[in-house]
Amino acid sequence: MQSEQEILRQYLKENGLRRTPEREHILQEIFATHEHFDVDELYLRLCQKGVKISKASIYRALRLFLDCGLIREVDFSDGHWHFEHIYGHNQHAHLRCLGCGEIVEFEDPNLTLLQGQLGRDYHYQIVSCHLEVKGYCATCGKTREKSL
């Protein structure tokens, strides 16, 4: 199995794009942890590691990584973009607490089946499948009951 860097380099070559230290630094940072991230967080993490880079370049790199399937968008409905790396990971869905923001990742084999079903039923070529469940975790649920 190729590394994410190899995937990137291959994609760049195939599309007449160039390999740059900026792109590789960003990609490395994205795959350094399993955390979900937004542009500001990523920018900060890079700054802290001494990588000098502009936000414009980060935005541009993220679009590139989306195109080659290394990352995907995660919808937090909070007005700006969040992402996570997906290359090398099983597809998963998110259960998020509206109180504290905790995120539980879970896999659902039914989703894979559903994709096949949808593809067949509606003659669609499925590209992505995002399931986001929201609610209150045990702790936040209790706090909430009291205040009602």
Partner DNA sequence: AAATTATTGCAACCGAGTCGCAATAAAGAT
Partner DNA sequence: ATCTTTATTGCGACTCGGTTGCAATAATTT
The token pair that represents 51 in the structure block: 């990588």
42 binds, among DNA, Mn ion, a second copy, none (CB under 5 to 8 A by kind): none
Residue 130 is a binding residue for a second copy (CB under 8 A)? yes
Cα three-residue angle 85-89-95, rounded to 5 degrees: 75
Total site size for a second copy, rule CB under 8 A:
32
Residue 107 is a binding residue for a second copy (CB under 8 A)? no
How many angstroms separate the Cα of 144 from the Cα of each of 96, 100, 101, 132?
16, 12, 14, 22
Which amino acid would we find at residue 100? C
84 binds, among DNA, Zn ion, Mn ion, none (CB under 5 to 8 A by kind): Mn ion
Smallest Cα–Cα separation from 98: which of 133, 129, 147, 146? 133
Measured between alpha carbons, how far is 90 from 107 in angstroms, rounded to an integer?
8
Q: Which of residues 96-115 bind Mn ion (CB under 5 A)?
A: 105
Task: Select 13 or 49, whichever has its Cβ closest to DNA.
Answer: 13
Shortest Å, Cβ 77 to DNA? 10
Residue 101 is a binding residue for a second copy (CB under 8 A)? no
| Chain residues in the site for Zn ion (CB under 5 A) | 97, 99-100, 102, 137, 140
